[in-house]
Amino acid sequence: MAVRKGIESSLAIAEAAAACNVDCIAAYPITPQTHIVEHLSELVNDGELDAEFIPVESEHSAMSCCCGTAAAGARTFTATSSQGLALMHEIMFIAANLRLPIVMTVANRALSAPINIWNDHSDVMTERDCGWLQIFAENGQEATDLVPVCHRIAEDKRVLLPIMLNFDGFIVSHVVEPIEMLDRDEIATFLPDYEPQQRLDVDYPITMGPVGMPEVYTEAKMAHEAAVQNAYGPICEILDEFGKKFGRTYKPVETYKTEDADIVFVMMGATAETCMSWVDKVRETGKKVGIVRFRLWRPLPVAAFKEAVKGKKVLGIIDRHFSPGGPGGPVAQEVKYTLYGEKDAPKVVEVVAGLGGRDIDFDTFDNIFDRCQKVLDGGTVPPFELIQARGGHYGKI
């Protein structure tokens, strides 16, 4: 029987990885992810987890090492944040196109400069195109539950792709929550032993990562695109199975009180939990507002998202990263992509907030709601704006 206990989310995530009976962890410590790999190294050292813990000299080595162990057929886990993820950058693409089912938890944190250890989504969003599956948890329970789910998805013979499990640094990683912990026996009923489809084996030699000449590179990318798109079905199936087995159901796109709402906020991560409390509060004053949250980010759940915002008038999108000199934040860009050309598509009000640990509180939601209300009342749609910048957004009064 699962035990519910007060535990720091990072430690619960490490316990979940251990309960998945991972074979190999190659990692380098970085705030705010450190407690995860620190705890895993303790579990290995204390003999509670029979795995290789490889303390490498950098994140570039960590991801390279993970590629090696996954290619050898080991269930492989690692974790990182921010600069660490950036240092893994070139190996991220290799892990993805070699179809190595690595699970990596990312405690999302801002990128330097200026150096900042606090939470936003700039680390993961700059890795958006690396070809990994990407999923966002909003609290410690969800992050813990999604560890075995991610191993199941990554290792599914129909998928065979690495997967990145994101959650907000500190806001989720360092918070002590009541978390229902699944033990090894329970997880074993959901996550079978890993049987690699293809691995490095001296008796049956193969080459992984050969050169891809111009005659074949495009086809290699097409095969990768098909793999990521085709993962959607198995992802839904596996999330459903987890829900039926353990009572906590997770969907690719989550909605909260959207049924009667004209204005819907769209965001990812823990911000949505704060927003749920705000929605409950303002609904008492008659404001019909709801939330749509992307849990799954790659593959982008286009159909599920369209269904979730069908008939809505205005979307208020909160991005926690943006491209300087570009078209605003990634969530807003991709939402617009899903809606472009759709009949009666909702109008999109986009803001960037919560950069480098700046709090997103009820006042922030009030501010965004006012912008949406103006558009709902017939006002023009404003361009994207860093709403929390003192001095105002550049070029705006």
Partner 1 sequence: MAKQSPAPNWQDLALGCATLEAGSSKYQKTGDWRSSRPIWNFEQCVKCGVCTVYCPEGCLKMNADGYPQVDLDYCKGCAICVTECWTGCISMEEEKD
Least Å distance between CB 5 and partner 1? 40
**Residue 115 makes contact with partner 1 by CB under 8 A:** no
Q: Is 397 in the site for partner 1 (CB under 8 A)?
A: no
Which residue number, 3 or 206, has a Cβ lying nearer to partner 1?
206
Out of 1, 113, 211, 397, point to the residue binding partner 1 (CB under 8 A): 211
Query: 48, 50, 183, 219: which one contacts partner 1 (CB under 8 A)?
Result: 219
Return the residue of 3, 176, 216, 303 that touches partner 1, per CB under 8 A.
216
Shortest distance, position 28 Cβ to partner 1, whole Å: 25
Residue 105 and residue 87: Cα distance in Å, rounded?
A: 15
Residues 155-174: x/- map of binding to partner 1 (CB under 8 A)?
-----x--------------
* Ranges within 77-106 binding partner 1 (CB under 8 A): 97-100
- E strand or H helix that includes residue 266: strand 263-267
Min dist CB 125 to partner 1, Å, is 25
Bond preceding residue 299 cis, omega within 30 of 0: yes
* Contacts for 166 with CB less than 8 Å, ≥ 6 apart: 105, 106, 108, 121, 124, 134, 135, 136, 137, 268, 269, 297
Considering the complex, what minimum distance in angstroms separates the CB of residue 216 from partner 1?
Answer: 5
- The answer to the question of residue 210 lying near partner 1 (CB under 8 A) is yes
State the minimum distance, in angstroms, from the CB of residue 70 to partner 1.
10
Minimum distance, C-beta of residue 213 to partner 1, in the bound complex (Å): 7
Q: Is 197 in the site for partner 1 (CB under 8 A)?
A: yes
- Residue 207 found at the interface with partner 1 (CB under 8 A): yes
Residue (99 or 371) nearer to partner 1, CB: 99
Smallest separation (angstroms) from partner 1 to the CB of 210: 5
> How would you write 75-116 as a 3-class SS string?
CEEEEECHHHHHHCHHHHHHHHHCCCCCEEEEEECCCCCCCC
Counting contacts by CB under 8 A, is residue 226 touching partner 1? Answer: yes
Instruction: State which residue, 207 or 285, has the beta carbon closest to partner 1.
Output: 207
Asked if 176 touches partner 1 (CB under 8 A), the answer is no
What is the rounded distance in angstroms from the CA atom of residue 354 to the CA atom of residue 134? 20
Euclidean distance between CA atoms 76 and 66, whole angstroms: 6
DSSP 5-47: EEEEHHHHHHHHHHHTT-SEEEE---TTTHHHHHHHHHHHHTT
Q: How many CB atoms lie within 10 A of CB 222?
A: 10
DSSP state of 302: H
Among 1, 113, 202, 213, binds partner 1 (CB under 8 A): 213
Report yes or no: 297 and 268 within 8 Å, Cβ to Cβ.
yes
215, 259, 344, 377: residue in contact with partner 1 (rule CB under 8 A): 215
Q: At what angle do helices 9-19 and 34-45 cross, to 10 degrees?
A: 50
Sole window of 29-37, 208-216, 272-280, 288-296 interacting with partner 1 (rule: CB under 8 A): 208-216
Any idea what DSSP says for residue 355? Answer: G
79: Cβ contacts below 8 Å, ≥ 6 apart: 13, 27, 33, 36, 37, 104, 105, 106, 107
- By CB under 8 A, name the binding residues for partner 1: 97-100, 160, 197-198, 205-213, 215-216, 218-220, 222-223, 226
